[in-house]
Structure 1
Amino acid sequence: MFGFNLPISRQYIVPPIVLATIATVLMAFDMRDALEFHRQLISEGQVWRIWSSQYIHTNWTHLALNLVGILFIWVLHAEHTSIRRYFIHVLFLGLWTGIGIWLFCPDIRVYTGLSGLLHGIIVWGALKDIQVKEPTGILLFLGIVGKLAWEQYAGPSTDVGNLIDSRVAIESHLIGAIGGLVLALPLIKGKLGFAVKQ
């Protein structure tokens, strides 16, 4: 038998609980019409939708899938972060993904969901694993790269799209993952020995 210690300290459990609660409350109060990414309405001045859309969902199944993602990240990487860093990442990646969709994905007219920013958080966590010599870090990173490459080649999953009543925005996964790389630049520089001397 082997032990498996979950990261249950307050600093590790508060951030994912808060994020999950916010997403659930927004779903329960049906805030989609007011907050979703809607290209026409954004062009008319409702620019908050670029960012707010990242935290709402099309239906309860969509939310449940992303809550599983939050749980997965907590189990894997909670101990790499802090309350402050977690929310900086969540806020930055939400804005990064929304702006990326606005600028580079003109075919996406409506968008919702946490999945883009969650991909960014997973990428950052995998690179942090590599920095601290966690043996699964490279495998996780290669797995994410493989998933993203397959999505871009094969296109969005029809089955998942049917579950969430929306096309899976695989572009947001790639944009979010790139945002995770941006957040991880200090880790990469340090790993390669290029850290700036204090």
Structure 2
Amino acid sequence: MQIQHRWLNWFFLGLLCLIIYAISAENITALDYNRESIINGEYWRLISGNFNHTNIYHLLLNLGALAVIGGLHYRYYNSAAYTGLILLLSIGVGVGILWLSPSTHLYVGLSGILHGIIIVGAVIDVTKKYYSGYVLMIGTIIKVINEQLFNSPVEISQLIEARVLTEAHLYGLVTGLIIAPLYVYLNKKKSA
């Protein structure tokens, strides 16, 4: 029963993305990250933009990645810890874009959060002496560095009908590294 309960965390995040996508299908600007709107006081967009998507392909790519990551690390989080993780990563990605990417006016997508989830889970893996944690961490860091130097594949941008904001991946990774010690502590406390 515990395993099924923990999968619900991942299911609800996917469901949230589906609902926001459905609500915004006619008007993608309803909940997206919009720099001008945020500066004018619509601060929720720092968070909600992470859950919206440009099209169904974008949504399915992110939900597929979410399912894979969920399969790797679902056991590390209870509902409260998982909700906090998603909220902290959302804020980290949104604020990172706002402060460090001033030329980005619009953004939607879960991929920044996904990079943060991978890193937090990988750090917990490492503390549990799972070698897969090192592979995940090093692989994700190399991927993000490659994206910063060479950008993302053109094919993905064409599929999602938008430029892949690789900076969001970087901000998710960095936020994940910053908050990982908290989640290592929570995981050890839960296991004790």
Q: What TM-score does the superposition give when structure 1 sets the normalisation length?
A: 0.87
Q: Where do 5+ consecutive residues of structure 2 fail to align?
A: 186-192
Cα shift readout 1:120-145 (whole Å, capped 9, x = no counterpart) = 01000001000001121111111011
Distance 2:9 2:18 in 1: 14
Distance 2:56 2:175 in 1: 26
Q: Is the 8 A contact 2:3 2:75 kept in 1?
A: no
Cα shift readout 1:49-77 (whole Å, capped 9, x = no counterpart) = 11110111011000001101110111111
Task: Answer yes or no: is 1:14 the counterpart of 2:11.
Answer: no
1:105 to 97, 101, 106: 101
1:158 equivalent in structure 2: 154
Quote the offset at 1:8 in angstroms.
7.7
Distance 2:139 2:40 in 1: 40
Distance 2:141 2:39 in 1: 33
Quote the offset at 1:188 in angstroms.
7.3
Quote the offset at 1:185 in angstroms.
2.5
Give the number of aligned pairs. 184
Q: Where do 5+ consecutive residues of structure 1 fail to align?
A: 1-6, 190-198
Cα shift readout 1:15-69 (whole Å, capped 9, x = no counterpart) = 0110101100111222622111111222222222111101110110000011011
Task: Answer yes or no: is 1:132 the counterpart of 2:136.
Answer: no
More helix, by proportion: 2
Percent of paired sites with the same residue? 32
> Aligned-residue CA RMSD in angstroms?
1.9
Distance 2:184 2:53 in 1: 33
SS state of the match for residue 103, structure 2? coil
Distance 1:8 1:67 in 2: 22
- The structure with the largest alpha-carbon Rg is 1
SS state of the match for residue 57, structure 1? coil
Q: What TM-score does the superposition give when structure 2 sets the normalisation length?
A: 0.90
Distance 2:152 2:103 in 1: 14
More deviation, 168-177/153-162: 153-162
Distance 1:174 1:116 in 2: 7
Which 4+ stretches in 1 moved above 6 angstroms?
A: none
SS state of the match for residue 53, structure 1? helix
Question: Residues 84 and 187 of structure 1: is their aligned pair in 2 closer, same or farther, counting only changes over 3 Å?
Answer: closer
